[in-house]
């Protein structure tokens, strides 16, 4: 779960990291005379992407009238393909060195990677590798803190203490929230040694949310900003829209296999509308989960084919097929597109008999590669 900047900063602040004071405003809201933080201000769109400043999504404001004008221009607009539903208005930070720092879960080593650069800011991606200090350590706070001297000693003398303090505070927040990424760019370091987070990119592991009721509450309170996370919290399975213009609707189970199928469809030149990890073993005889998936797919403007892939380790395929037919019948607004079904496991013969109720709409194909090729062919035929 990628937090929007406002929520990322508020999370850091809750763990004691200093940030510029700010407020979040949504479409239809205007700041009251006493609600704005101290002037001057910066108005920042809240969308899940980088490069907002270069794309015109970060504006300066010197008066309350400037703030209102910039909010009117930004709220309801689109930035880099994302609808702007909220803006953070915060006190503008003046002066200070711009530093980059991050902590992230490193899948290759199973540890935590730490990065620091004295050349932070909007052009961090163009910084030469030799100017970025890095260390990978065991995934525990003690190991991270022990590695701090390796990352701060090479810095200019006036940066060592503030960057060390910021890294320590960031590490505590990283582990306390079980984050996957915590990036501060820029970290502003003032001449007097004071520092604060100018921006924050935080990715959380929503699988850890059962241990963090405060994060659950945050996501639920901001359901419009995190619909996929809230969907998973409420329904206990994953459905993520990948491409609103996608032509292949995915009805799949198993996160790894489903992601592989999305990639293979892309390699074949077609785009999946969604990712789906149905967790069929938890359907418990109800078409509810499938109905939710079909409700989402009915909103896909270019849906050309549905690709079903279920290996029945727990769920009986006969039951799954019955629930699939029921869910389709209960979703009259779902486009009647071809369904390529790759089913393997217990109850296959019963499933095949049940799916005859859908007539020629269903094509059964037990070979995964052939099923993917069929789905791609339908998708390409739709766009031809």
Contacts of 121 (CB under 8 A, 6+ apart): 98, 100, 185, 186
User: Is 60 exceeded by the pLDDT of residue 83?
Assistant: yes
Q: Which pLDDT score, from 0 to 100, does residue 383 have? A: 53
Could you tell me the CA-to-CA distances from 279 to 254, 298, 339 in Å, in that order?
7, 21, 19
The more confidently predicted of residues 122 and 43 is 43
Range from 42-56, 287-301, 302-316 carrying the lowest mean pLDDT: 302-316
DSSP 31-100: --TTTS-SSSEEEEE--S-S-TTTTT-EEEESSHHHHHHHHHHHTT-EETTEE--EEEEEEPP-S-EEEE
Contacts of 182 (CB under 8 A, 6+ apart): 12, 102, 103, 104, 170, 173, 174, 200, 201, 202
DSSP state of 206: G
Q: Which pLDDT score, from 0 to 100, does residue 384 have? A: 46
Query: How many angstroms separate the CA atoms of 105 and 198, rounded?
Result: 22
User: Is 90 exceeded by the pLDDT of residue 116?
Assistant: yes
Query: How many angstroms separate the CA atoms of 115 and 124, rounded?
Result: 12
**For 316-370, where are the E strands, in sequence order?**
339-345, 362-364
316-328 per-residue burial string, b: 16 or more CB within 10 A, e: under 16: bbbbbbbbbbebb
Distance from the first to the final alpha carbon of the chain = 36
Strands 133-137 and 111-117: antiparallel
Q: Which pLDDT score, from 0 to 100, does residue 348 have? A: 92
Q: Which pLDDT score, from 0 to 100, does residue 312 have? A: 73
| Tokens encoding 27 | 């479409």
User: Is 50 exceeded by the pLDDT of residue 75?
Assistant: yes
The more confidently predicted of residues 78 and 383 is 78
- pTM across the whole model: 0.85
Query: How many angstroms separate the CA atoms of 98 and 135, rounded?
Result: 20
pLDDT mean across residues, the chain: 93
Domains and CATH numbers, the chain: 21-91 (3.30.1490.20), 97-204 (3.30.470.20), 236-383 (3.40.50.261)
* Mean pLDDT (whole number) for 231-238: 93
Range from 123-137, 199-213, 275-289, 335-349 carrying the lowest mean pLDDT: 123-137
Could you tell me the CA-to-CA distances from 164 to 4, 158, 178, 187 in Å, in that order?
25, 11, 21, 12
Instruction: Determine the Cα angle at 118 with ends 112 and 122, to 5°.
Output: 90
* Mean pLDDT (whole number) for 195-208: 95
Q: Which pLDDT score, from 0 to 100, does residue 382 have? A: 67
User: Is 80 exceeded by the pLDDT of residue 33?
Assistant: no
The percent of residues in the chain predicted with pLDDT above 70, rounded, is 99
Q: Are 311 and 346 in contact (CB under 8 A)?
A: no
Which helix (H) or strand (E) segment holds residue 227: the answer is helix 227-235
Query: How many angstroms separate the CA atoms of 200 and 69, rounded?
Result: 25
- Residue 36 confidence class, pLDDT cut points 50, 70, 90: very high
DSSP state of 272: B
């Amino acid at each position: 779960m990628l937090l929007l900047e406002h929520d990322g900063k508020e999370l850091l602040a809750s763990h004691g990291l200093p940030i510029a004071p700010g407020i979040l405003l949504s479409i239809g809201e205007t700041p009251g005379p006493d609600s704005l933080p101290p002037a001057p201000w910066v108005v920042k769109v809240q969308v899940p992407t980088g490069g907002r400043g270069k794309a015109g999504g970060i504006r300066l404001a010197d008066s309350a009238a400037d703030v209102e004008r910039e909010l009117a221009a930004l709220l309801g607009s689109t930035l880099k393909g994302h609808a702007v539903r909220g803006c953070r208005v915060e006190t503008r930070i003046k002066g200070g060195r711009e530093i980059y720092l991050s902590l992230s879960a490193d899948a290759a080593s199973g540890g935590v990677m730490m990065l620091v650069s004295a050349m932070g800011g909007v052009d961090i991606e163009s910084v030469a590798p030799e100017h970025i200090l890095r260390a990978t350590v065991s995934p525990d706070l003690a190991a991270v803190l022990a590695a701090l001297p390796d990352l701060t000693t090479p810095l200019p003398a006036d940066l060592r203490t503030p960057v060390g303090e910021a890294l320590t505070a960031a590490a505590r927040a990283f582990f306390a929230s079980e984050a996957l990424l915590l990036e501060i760019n820029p970290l502003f370091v003032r001449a007097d040694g004071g520092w604060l987070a100018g921006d924050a990119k935080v990715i959380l592991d929503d699988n850890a949310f059962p241990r963090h009721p405060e994060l659950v509450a945050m996501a639920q309170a901001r359901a419009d900003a995190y619909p996929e996370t809230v969907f998973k919290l409420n329904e206990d399975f994953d459905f993520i829209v990948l491409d609103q213009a996608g032509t292949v609707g995915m009805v799949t189970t198993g996160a790894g296999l489903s992601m592989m199928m999305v990639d293979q469809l892309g390699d074949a030149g077609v785009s999946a509308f969604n990712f789906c990890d149905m967790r069929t073993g938890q359907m418990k005889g109800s078409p509810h989960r499938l109905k939710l998936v079909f409700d989402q797919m009915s909103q896909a403007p270019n849906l050309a084919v549905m690709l079903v892939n279920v290996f029945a380790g727990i769920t009986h395929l006969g039951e799954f097929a019955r629930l699939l037919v029921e869910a389709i019948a209960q979703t009259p607004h779902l486009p009647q597109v071809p369904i390529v079904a790759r089913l393997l496991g217990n109850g296959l013969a019963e499933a095949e008999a049940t799916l005859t109720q859908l007539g020629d709409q269903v094509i059964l194909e037990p070979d995964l590669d052939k099923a993917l090729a069929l789905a791609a062919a339908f998708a390409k035929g739709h766009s031809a």
